[in-house]
Amino acid sequence: MDKMHLARMQFYGNHGLFPEENKLGQRFYVDLTLSLDLSEAGRTDEIGTTVNYAELYERVKQIVEGRTFRLIEALAENIASDVLHQYTNVNDVTVRVIKPHPPFDIHFDGVTVEIVRKRESL
């Protein structure tokens, strides 16, 4: 199966358990990997035979910036569900949500959640 990757999309969201996170917000990164057949797009050079990644970026932006989730797991699940419902040519999607600066008094390079959802599980 072919793959399409959208790497390190950057958004500003208000996700987290703490009231300060919901009020102040912070930066989030989202990576997507879509599994789909890209052979027709390669042969025809037509956008209608693939996923328009500019449109997909806007859909993800609406989810990340337009809603508030307590858990980045829920954010990832909502993105995966939207992708599989909107793009019927996608067989499965991997969603990685990165919270680079969690509000804890510990030092590490962020928290990442990665989920894989398949069309047959809909």
Q: Where are the domains of the chain?
A: 2-121
CATH number of 2-121: 3.30.1130.10
Is residue 106 pLDDT above 80, yes or no? Answer: no
Helix axes 72-86, 53-66, angle to 10 degrees: 140
Is residue 41 pLDDT above 80, yes or no? Answer: yes
Is residue 97 pLDDT above 90, yes or no? Answer: yes
Is residue 105 pLDDT above 90, yes or no? Answer: no
Specify the pTM. Answer: 0.94
Is residue 20 pLDDT above 90, yes or no? Answer: no
Q: What value does the mean pLDDT take over residues 59-87?
A: 97
By the 10 Å C-beta count (0-12 exposed, 13-18 middle, 19+ buried), 32 is classed as: buried
Catalogue the active-site residues.
99
